[in-house]
Amino acid sequence: MNIAIFASGGGSNALEIIRRFREKGENGRVALLVTDRTGTGAEVHARKYDIPSETVPPKTLRENPGELSDLLVRYGIDFIALAGFLALIPAEVTRKFSGRMVNIHPSLLPDYGGKGMYGDRVHRAVLADGQRKTGITVHYVNEIYDDGEVIFQAETDVAEGETLESLKEKIRRLEHANYPRVIEECLKKLQI
Ligand code: GAR
C-alpha cells in the first residue's frame, strides 16, 4: 500500500513513520510527503530518504481541492497519515479516503481538540487547566477537525512542576512509540 504523509512542521512523526516502513513495514511504503508550506523539517526528512514531496497551500486546498485529489491519484496513494498537518483536508478527499486516513493529536480527544488546537497550544491549555493526565489520540479523519472515530489512545501523567518543554517531550515520545505501529495495524486490517 502506498502511504502519503501530510505534515506542516518539524516532521518528527513523519520521520518515525518513514523509518518504520523502511525497516519493518511489511504492509506499506511511504510514497509521498504532502506539505501545505515550503521549508518544513518534514521535507528535509523526506529528501534524505528519497521520498518525493509536494506542496499544496491552504488556499488551493480550499478553492481547488481537485488538485490534491489528482496528486493522490498520480502517486497511487492508498492511505494517508496526517502528522502535524495544520490545514483542513477538503471534504472531497476525506470522503474518498474514509477509513483510510488517520491523524495523530497530542491530547486525549475529545478534550483539547478542534479548530486552532494544535501543537503547543494544546499543551499550554492542559497545563493552564492544571490537568493531572494527558495523552495522545490516533483517529480516523473526517471533514471536521479532530472529530473522527478514535483508533488508539495512550495516557501520560502531568507531573508537579511540568513545563511546556517537558510535557512536549513526553508526548513526542509517546507519539513516536505508537503512531507508526498503529498505522501499520490499520493497513493490516485493510488488507484482510
Ligand atoms: C504532534 O505532536 C502532533 O500530535 C500534533 O503536531 C505535532 C507535530 O509534531 N498535531 C496536532 O496538533 C494536530 N491537531 P512533528 O512535526 O514533530 O511530528
**pLDDT the model gives residue 120:** 95
Q: Shortest CA distance to 186 belongs to which of 21, 45, 22?
A: 21
CA-nearest residue, atom 16 of ligand 1: 11
Distance of alpha carbon 94 from alpha carbon 67, whole angstroms = 14
Q: How far is the CA of 174 from the centre of ligand 1 (A)?
A: 12
Given the CA of residue 13, which atom of ligand 1 is nearest to it? 18
Domain count, the chain: 1
Q: How far is the CA of 26 from the centre of ligand 1 (A)?
A: 25
Residue, of 144 and 137, whose pLDDT is higher = 137
**pLDDT the model gives residue 191:** 86
Distance of alpha carbon 67 from alpha carbon 21, whole angstroms = 27
* CA distance from start to end of the chain: 13
Q: What is the mean pLDDT of the chain?
A: 96
CA-nearest residue, atom 8 of ligand 1: 84
- From the list 45, 105, 123, 139, the catalytic residue is 105
* pLDDT band at residue 192 under the 50/70/90 scheme: low
CA-nearest residue, atom 1 of ligand 1: 84
Mind listing the pLDDT tens digit for each residue in 15-56? 999 999 998 878 899 999 999 999 999 999 999 999 999 999
In degrees, to the nearest 5, what angle opens at C-alpha 105 toward C-alphas 102 and 108?
Answer: 115
Q: Mean of the pLDDT values across residues 115-144?
A: 95
Place of cell 516502513: 21
CA-nearest residue, atom 12 of ligand 1: 118
CB-CB contact of 97 with 141 (8 Å):
yes
Place of cell 504492509: 27
Mind listing the pLDDT tens digit for each residue in 46-83? 999 999 999 999 999 999 999 999 999 999 999 999 99
Is 176 among the residues known to form the active site?
A: no
The parent domain of residue 144 ranges over 2-191
**pLDDT the model gives residue 40:** 96
Place of cell 505508537: 178
**Range in 42-51, 78-87, 143-152, 172-181 with the lowest mean pLDDT:** 143-152
- CB-based burial, 163-179: b 16+ in 10 Å, e otherwise: eeeebeebbbebbbebb
**pLDDT the model gives residue 25:** 75
Q: Residues near ligand 1 with C-beta < 6 Å?
A: 7, 9-14, 83-84, 104-106, 118-119, 122, 171, 175
Reported residue count of the chain is 192
Substitution candidate for ligand 1 out of 82, 118, 173 with most atoms within 8 A of CB = 118
* pLDDT band at residue 165 under the 50/70/90 scheme: very high
CATH number of domain containing 97: 3.40.50.170
**pLDDT the model gives residue 111:** 97
